[in-house]
């Protein structure tokens, strides 16, 4: 078979390409595509996004959430690709008109790992230590517990950030457990954190043109309903808060069959103030899960009032 069945648009980072290959392997298993023909049946098109180009300043200064997906979504809209593979946490709450999330792969553990140069746990981090991160959410959660910490910008892919810690540019950092697992990277003495993670962390979303029934039928075979339900709720929370990567927002939906339990929080960047909300829902659908997340966001907006961070 020489004609492409599905063209995959992906960021070009090692993690993004690994995730795209996971999607392609799942599609091949579902549809009986031969491994030897995958490059022609389902080619991966690496793309460099605006977020990849900005390495010298925080993304919050450049426009926030969406910087890692815009060029990829443009490729879909211009029919240069048939599906896009995203780390769902990078996606804005509102998608461009004509695009939809058609499937979500089974979610990895969404939590963070704390990684220190001296291999000590977070509680033993020395006073005034340098914590490297570009995430306002991780920054706020860390400062809530340790206001003495010095936050330093740490950008780049997983390997780059680990190398910067080894070189002493920071005393410690935090990374998504899912990303390390997918890359096959094991960090000795890394500490699992039970903090609420970034919304949709650990989930891989497959985005398509809403009118493309061919792509929709193919990717439906690899959709994980529980993971899709969870990210619907978390994206509802994001939408209800008009959230972006400029806002310290965290949350996690847990799904057991069709029952859903959600916990979410919003913090000020210095971690001094925070607001939480939780919800439970039986017989959840994607629409009702999204609405549940929005309702939790509304509670926080009402309770926080003018103190809620606005960017």
Catalytic residues: 90
**Chain CA centroid to CA 52, Å:** 15
CA distances to 56, 88, 121, 235, 252 from 223, rounded to whole Å, are: 37, 14, 37, 17, 19
**Separation of alpha carbons 189 and 187, rounded Å:** 6
Residues 6+ apart with CB under 8 A from 73: 84, 95, 96, 99, 207
**Separation of alpha carbons 274 and 249, rounded Å:** 10
What is residue 96's DSSP assignment?
P
Tell me which H or E stretch contains 240: helix 225-240
> Following DSSP, what letter does each residue of 135-155 receive, concatenated?
-HHHHHHHHHH-TTPEEE---
3-state DSSP: the chain helix, strand, coil percent, rounded to 5?
40, 20, 40
What is residue 123's DSSP assignment?
G
């Amino acid at each position: 078979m020489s004609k492409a069945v599905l063209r995959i648009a992906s960021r070009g980072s090692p993690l993004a390409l690994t995730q795209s290959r996971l999607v392609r392997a799942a599609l091949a298993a579902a549809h009986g595509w031969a491994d030897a023909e995958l490059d022609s049946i389902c080619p991966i098109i690496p793309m460099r996004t605006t977020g990849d180009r900005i390495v010298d300043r925080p993304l919050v200064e450049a426009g926030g959430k969406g910087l890692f997906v815009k060029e990829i979504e443009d490729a879909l809209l211009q029919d240069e690709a048939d599906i896009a593979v995203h780390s769902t946490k990078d996606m804005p709450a509102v998608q461009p008109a004509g695009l939809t999330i058609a499937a979500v792969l089974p979610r990895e553990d969404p939590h963070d790992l704390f990684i220190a140069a001296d291999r000590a746990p977070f509680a033993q981090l020395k006073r005034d230590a340098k914590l490297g991160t570009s995430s306002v959410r991780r920054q706020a959660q860390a400062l809530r517990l340790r206001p003495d910490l010095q936050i330093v910008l740490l950008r780049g892919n997983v390997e780059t950030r680990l190398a910067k810690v080894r070189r002493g540019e920071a005393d410690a950092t935090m990374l998504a457990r899912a990303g390390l697992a997918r890359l096959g990277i094991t960090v000795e003495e890394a500490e699992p954190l039970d903090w609420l993670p970034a919304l949709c962390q650990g989930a891989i979303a497959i985005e398509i043109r809403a009118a493309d029934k061919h792509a929709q039928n193919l990717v439906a075979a690899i959709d994980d309903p529980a993971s899709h339900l969870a990210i619907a709720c978390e994206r509802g929370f994001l939408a209800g808060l008009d959230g972006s990567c400029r806002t310290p927002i965290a949350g996690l939906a847990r799904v057991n069959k069709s029952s859903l339990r959600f916990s979410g929080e919003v913090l000020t960047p210095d971690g001094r103030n925070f607001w939480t909300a939780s919800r439970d829902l039986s017989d959840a659908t994607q629409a009702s899960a999204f609405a549940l997340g929005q309702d939790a966001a509304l509670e926080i907006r009402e309770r926080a009032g003018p103190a809620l961070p606005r960017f």
